[in-house]
Amino acid sequence: MTISQITILCILAALFAFLVWGRFRYDIVAFSALIVCVVAGLIPAADAFSGFGHPATVTVAFILILSRGLAASGATDIIAKAISPTTATTPSHIGSLAGIGALLSAFMNNVGTLGLLMPVALATGRRAKRAASLLLMPLSFGCILGGLMTLIGTPPNIIVANYRGQVMGEGFSMFDFTPVGLAVATVGVIFISVIGWRLVPSRGSDSDRADFFEIANYLTEARVGEESKAIGKSAREAEELAPDYDVQIVGLVRAERRVHAPRWLETIRAGDVLLIEAASDELNRYVSELGLELIDSQGGLKILDEIEDGQLVEAVCVPHSMLEGRSVADLGLARAQGINLLAVSRQGRPYRGRLRSFRFRAGDVLLLHGVQQVLADFISRNECLPLRERRLNFGNSARPLAAVGIFAGAIILASLGLLSVTTALGLAAVLMLVSRILPLRDLYDSVDWPVIILLGALIPVGGAIESTGTSQLIADWILTATVGFAPWVVIAVILTVTMTVSDILNNAATAVVMAPIAFSVAQELGVNPDPFLMAVAVGASCAFLTPIGHQNNALIMGAGGYRFGDYWRLGLPLEILIVLVSVPVIMWAWPL
């Protein structure tokens, strides 16, 4: 091995280690790897940031924008409503969710598709008295499988297609992925619907999972007595009278006037009714210390819902949201934004600690209370997903036919070769903005910037893997391990290795690393590299064993109450099935 190969392998090992550790965001880790490669002389300084203008990076950004536009138009909601009549049996319920998720994900970002269908799954699950854990994992896996079917369905397909263009002069086209992707998605969805869902753990009884939060356990009404210490104090001052207790006053009712989030402007008087959020073990002590009188705790939700302009919404913190790693105190929710965090559920269990010091993680389910527009802006700005809305509308529901027409037009132009995929999607994004289907304020919010940074940073790193001969070196190792075996066995090995790596790394990063290796293996064997590249595209997207391998898996963890070890129960047989189905179809569609 040369010094350059040893260096790039060390950088890759460190990259893998930091990404698996998860202490730092993956975009920061990837960008750091890029800078180290430039400093080490593995990437020319002039090419250091070429990845940010790479067609794969730009195409992913456009897909994210168009996915937001389709959601804002209400077009996807029309399809989602078709699920309701299919909830009579568990297999048909899961089959419709996973099937529609797969269909939408073929043309949309699969994380966006999951975000659209999660509220539908939860609402239909409540009506059918089915646990959320039985529905969300099949839905997530269905959305991932659907992305395999087209060029724009998932970032690995775009990366592999563009890599083929670099090394062979022409990339994969829009529907080159369809024969393999359609077969895998169809068999996968059928397996999940008929057999797979039975392997998913059910967290709690159906009735227990009907709601994420039992409101009465968190919100309590208390009347201010004549001798109460709270008289003459603001709500915030009343909270600080007992600083050792985690208590928040979220509402005040005086006669017929109801006040929203009374922080400073209102002073508490005798006879006022306070709506208090507190852990049950601290509530009685706080009430006793301040001289308050408990009323009926079952009435908490009713009063909160009637407070002036008040709305309740449940939302999930997505991976790499602006909330991740920050505490409630850091955000100043009630003080600066007029939003009350009433409860938190983590991995399906209500959080009963001190909310002021609570730090958000991906998958946390939040119960928020505030003014409608403030809540909508907060959720959009911090990249959360609403799970169940209470009189709160996040969609525009305008011009769904126009949105679908613009998107379909772009697909047709790209498929006929009249425009490149990137240009066609860019044109569609402009048309959605000009026609106001997608509000201008949502343009930049719709782009998952950590993914863009990841791609822009790792594409040059992938080039360094190839230019230093490291991809050829790793290919030789694979060939040595599979010497004497038929090419289809080597393809199966490439697919399995890629799937394994994708279970612990971001799928886009996996495609960037594995595509050059697969191409080098094919060259050494002297065969058509297309089936090897297709194996990388399939394997990079099929991350079903862990919640960290794909953003979809992290999103459902809190809402479904899953544990880290739950995913392999359905994921492992699904991945084995994918290998058994995809290898013969790859060999048929892309002969050696």
The per-residue pLDDT for range 55-70, each reduced to its tens digit, is 888 888 888 888 778 7
Are 272 and 379 part of one and the same domain?
no
Are 271 and 348 part of one and the same domain?
no
Distance separating alpha carbons of residues 119 and 404, to the nearest angstrom: 22
Which of 265, 378, 274 has its CA nearest to residue 328?
A: 378
Average pLDDT (5-26) is 84
Q: Is residue 161 assigned to a domain? A: yes
Cβ atoms of residues 110 and 63 within 8 Å: no
Q: Is residue 30 assigned to a domain? A: yes
Which of 180, 179, 181, 165 has its CA nearest to residue 421?
A: 165
Are 454 and 569 part of one and the same domain?
yes
Q: Is residue 557 assigned to a domain? A: yes
Which residues sit opposite 313 in a β-bridge? 368, 389
Predicted confidence (pLDDT) at residue 517 exceeds the cutoff of 50? yes
Of these ranges, 286-290, 476-480, 544-548, the one predicted with the greatest mean pLDDT is: 476-480
pLDDT recorded at residue 260 = 55
Q: What does the pLDDT look like over 350-372, one tens digit per residue?
A: 676 666 667 888 778 888 877 77
Which residues, including other chains, have CB under 8 Å from residue 282's CB and lie 6 or more apart?
245, 246, 247
pLDDT recorded at residue 77 = 63
Distance separating alpha carbons of residues 320 and 26, to the nearest angstrom: 9
pLDDT recorded at residue 396 = 44
3-state helix, strand, coil in the chain (%, to 5): 60, 10, 30
Determine the 3-state secondary structure of 252 from DSSP: strand
Are 251 and 105 part of one and the same domain?
no
Q: Which of 374, 390, 406 is the last residue of a domain?
A: 390
Question: Does residue 3 or residue 80 have the better pLDDT?
Answer: 3
Average pLDDT (179-183) is 95
Task: Give the Cβ contact number of residue 523 at 10 Å.
Answer: 15
Q: Is residue 56 assigned to a domain? A: yes
Q: Which of 348, 373, 390 is the last residue of a domain?
A: 390
Q: In CATH, what number is assigned to the domain containing residue 237?
A: 3.30.70.1450
Q: Is residue 199 assigned to a domain? A: yes
Which residues, including other chains, have CB under 8 Å from residue 483's CB and lie 6 or more apart?
none
Distance separating alpha carbons of residues 250 and 276, to the nearest angstrom: 6
Query: How many distinct structural domains can be found in the chain?
Result: 3
> 349-350 and 340-346: which strand pairing?
antiparallel
Q: Is residue 305 assigned to a domain? A: no
Q: In what side-by-side order are the strands of the sheet with 247-254? A: 257-260, 247-254, 273-278, 219-224, 292-294
CA distances, 248 to each of 218, 244, 374, 456 (Å):
10, 12, 19, 44
Task: Give the Cβ contact number of residue 224 at 10 Å.
Answer: 24
Are 564 and 466 part of one and the same domain?
yes
Q: Is residue 402 assigned to a domain? A: no
Q: In what side-by-side order are the strands of the sheet with 384-390? A: 349-350, 340-346, 365-371, 310-317, 384-390
Cβ atoms of residues 81 and 116 within 8 Å: no
* pLDDT tier, 337 (very low <50, low <70, confident <90, very high otherwise): low
> 365-371 and 340-346: which strand pairing?
antiparallel
Predicted confidence (pLDDT) at residue 345 exceeds the cutoff of 50? yes
Are 241 and 194 part of one and the same domain?
no
- What are the phi and psi torsion angles at 168 (to 5°)? -125, 0
Q: Which of 339, 371, 390 is the last residue of a domain?
A: 390
Task: Give the Cβ contact number of residue 266 at 10 Å.
Answer: 15
* pLDDT tier, 392 (very low <50, low <70, confident <90, very high otherwise): very low
Average pLDDT (188-193) is 96
DSSP letters for 400-432:
HHHHHHHHHHHHHHHHTTSS-HHHHHHHHHHHH
Cβ atoms of residues 562 and 537 within 8 Å: no
Are 239 and 203 part of one and the same domain?
no
Exposed, middle or buried by CB within 10 Å (0-12, 13-18, 19+), for 553? buried
Range in 29-38, 176-185, 291-300, 398-407 with the lowest mean pLDDT: 291-300
Query: Which residue range(s) make up the domain with 366?
Result: 310-390
Distance separating alpha carbons of residues 273 and 285, to the nearest angstrom: 18
For the chain, percent of residues with pLDDT exceeding 90: 28
Are 80 and 130 part of one and the same domain?
yes
Distance separating alpha carbons of residues 301 and 476, to the nearest angstrom: 65
* pLDDT tier, 16 (very low <50, low <70, confident <90, very high otherwise): confident
pLDDT recorded at residue 347 = 67
Q: What does the pLDDT look like over 217-261, one tens digit per residue?
A: 556 778 888 888 889 888 878 888 877 777 778 778 877 666 655
Are 279 and 377 part of one and the same domain?
no
Are 436 and 552 part of one and the same domain?
yes
Distance separating alpha carbons of residues 535 and 496, to the nearest angstrom: 9
Are 239 and 193 part of one and the same domain?
no
**Number of helical H runs and strand E runs in the chain:** 23, 10
* pLDDT tier, 32 (very low <50, low <70, confident <90, very high otherwise): very high
pLDDT recorded at residue 244 = 74
pLDDT recorded at residue 63 = 82
Range in 83-87, 203-207, 307-311 with the lowest mean pLDDT: 203-207
Q: Is residue 212 assigned to a domain? A: no
Question: Does residue 182 or residue 60 have the better pLDDT?
Answer: 182
Distance separating alpha carbons of residues 543 and 505, to the nearest angstrom: 9
Exposed, middle or buried by CB within 10 Å (0-12, 13-18, 19+), for 370? buried
Are 100 and 177 part of one and the same domain?
yes
CA distances, 371 to each of 332, 338, 345, 367, 368 (Å):
16, 8, 22, 14, 10
Q: How far is CA 484 from the centre of its chain?
A: 42
